[in-house]
Amino acid sequence: MKLGRAALGLLLLAPLAVRAVEPISLGLALAGVLTGYIYPRLYCLFTECCGQKRSLSREALQKDLDSKLFGQHLAKKVILNALFGFISNPKPKKPLTLSLHGWTGTGKNFVSKIIAENIYEGGLNSDYVHLFVATLHFPHASNITLYKDQLQLWIRGNVSACGRSIFIFDEMDKLHAGLIDAIKPFLDYYDHVDGVSYQKAIFIFLSNAGAERITDVALDFWRSGKQREEIKLKDMEPALSVSAFNNKNSGFWHSSLIDRNLIDYFVPFLPLEYKHLKMCIRVEMQARGFEIDEDIVTKVADEMTFFPKEERVFSDKGCKTVFTKLDYYYDD
């Protein structure tokens, strides 16, 4: 604010000062102020700039997680504390790395969207948020060397342009083994790598690896009459890292990212129950501008399939297909 007022004062006083200052000198001084302060500020009013979003609000992030993510008390707690702590740290030692694990439809992609929206106005469409899908961007195992080079160049270029870049890797369980190790130098405890600092970047990995272990723990709690909210991170996290590391069908198979402890948090996403599906349906109804109709909520939830076959405790597709099923009832 002080610099802005000084610049404005300089502009207003320019006619009076012109006699005392040579025209070229005055012009250069004004140009310096405009280019160095006013122009970037004005430019960022009309387009997205790196780090331009307001400081991350813990309350806003908490509200988004509570109102949009259901049945995931562990993920909510870890994401809230990890993200807020990282963003609040002016000098982190390394990038933030989150590995989200669970079955399809449990909220992994949704959490990535929430994170992006709480850091950048454009969310997933921001120029500073980058999504990689294993089967789309890295389809051929024979090209793994090429993919490694391209991945390093892409990350280096984007972090050079914006230190607070976000990289999301979806379908890690379908990524070719060894490919992800190409980014290991960027995740390590280095101040700079080839002149670029990656310490403020965020890397998010999404995977189905370890989902069986997560389900086993959740089912054991349910069968013993315990509430799912009693499940602690310590009941899940060690097994998740081991499962991802030893799974030959996982992009983390024998990965140096796990071996060198470069993944900050392994975040389990629990399988969803019937009541959680109803919560998803209600939120989707509101998002489409409809009044909540409990009859339709129940009908859509009843159409979903559950497992184990005898007990029918967990939805086998989570909330992923409830949105398309709603189309049947609201199709014009």
Evaluate whether residue 71 is within a structural domain: yes
- The answer on 295 and 245 residing in a single domain is no
Lowest mean pLDDT among 22-31, 170-179, 183-192, 229-238: 22-31
Rounded distance, CA 36 to CA 51, Å?
17
Number of domains the chain is built from: 2
102 is in an annotated binding site: yes
How far apart CA 176 and CA 40 sit, in angstroms, is 42
Q: Are residues 184 and 77 in the same domain?
A: yes
Question: Is 36 annotated for ligand binding?
Answer: no
Is residue 300 within 8 Å of 326, Cβ to Cβ? yes
Domain of 260, CATH number, reads 3.40.50.300
Full domain range(s) for residue 199? 59-269
Mean pLDDT of 183-193: 97
Q: Is the pLDDT of residue 16 over 50?
A: no
- Cα torsion through 310, 314, 315, 317, rounded to 10: -110
> Cα–Cα distance between 164 and 68 in angstroms, integer?
25
Radius of gyration from C-alpha coordinates of the chain:
24
Task: Pick the more confident residue, 202 or 30.
Answer: 202
Closest-CA residue to 108 (of 171, 152, 166) = 171
Mean pLDDT of the residues in the chain = 88
Q: How far apart are CA 271 and CA 228, in angstroms?
A: 10
**298 among annotated binding-site residues:** no
Report d(CA 129, CA 113) in Å as an integer. 10
* 3 domain-assigned: no
Comparing 14 with 267, the larger pLDDT belongs to: 267
Kindly list the distances between the CA atom of residue 128 and the CA atoms of 9, 52, 86, 258, 294, in Å, as whole numbers in the listed order: 35, 11, 17, 26, 40
Inform me whether the pLDDT recorded for 53 exceeds 60.
Answer: no
Same domain, 228 and 112: yes
Last residue of a domain, one of 269, 292, 309: 269
Do 67 and 141 lie in one domain? The reply is: yes
Q: Which token pair is 115?
A: 């994170």
Select from 249, 269, 289 the last residue of a domain: 269
Domain shared by 299 and 214, yes or no: no
Residue 5 lies inside a defined structural domain of this protein: no
225 is in an annotated binding site: no
Evaluate if residue 4 carries a pLDDT over 70. no
The reply to whether 128 and 177 lie within a common domain is yes
pLDDT at 132 over 90: yes
State how far the alpha carbon of 140 is from the alpha carbons of 14, 125, 179, 290, in Å: 63, 26, 11, 44
**8 band by pLDDT with thresholds 50, 70 and 90:** very low
| Domain contains 50 | no
Q: Is residue 47 part of a domain?
A: no
3-class state of residue 168 by DSSP = strand
Q: Is 321 annotated as a binding residue?
A: no
Cα separations in angstroms, 296 against 191, 280, 326, 327: 55, 13, 8, 11
The confidence band for 306, taking pLDDT boundaries of 50, 70 and 90, is very high
Whether the predicted pLDDT of 37 surpasses 70:
no
pLDDT band, very low/low/confident/very high, at 20 (cuts 50, 70, 90) = very low
SS3 label, residue 316:
coil
Q: 103: annotated binding-site residue?
A: yes
Element containing residue 21 per DSSP (H, E): none
231 and 118 housed in the same domain: yes
Residue 43 pLDDT class (50, 70, 90 cuts): low
Q: Averaged over 223-247, what is the pLDDT?
A: 92
d(CA 327, CA 126): 29
In a domain, 29, yes or no: no
Is residue 200 domain-resident?
yes
Q: How far apart are CA 247 and CA 244, in angstroms?
A: 5
135 is an annotated ligand-binding site residue? no
**How far apart (Å, rounded) are the C-alpha atoms in residues 266 and 99?**
5
Q: How far is CA 92 from CA 110, 185, 300, 309, in A?
A: 26, 16, 45, 47
* Reported pTM: 0.86
Q: What is the pLDDT of residue 17?
A: 42
Give the pLDDT confidence of 83-125 residue by residue, as tens digits: 999 999 999 999 999 999 999 999 999 999 999 999 998 999 9
Domain stops at, among 254, 269, 284: 269
203 and 313 housed in the same domain: no
pLDDT at 6: 43
Same-domain status, 209 and 285: no
Percent of the chain with pLDDT over 90: 73
In a domain, 162, yes or no: yes
Judge if 294 and 233 occupy the same domain.
Answer: no
List beta partners, residue 170: 133
Q: Are residues 140 and 177 in the same domain?
A: yes
Residue 249 marked ligand-binding:
no
Q: What is the mean pLDDT of residues 43-69?
A: 83
Q: Are 253 and 294 within one domain?
A: no
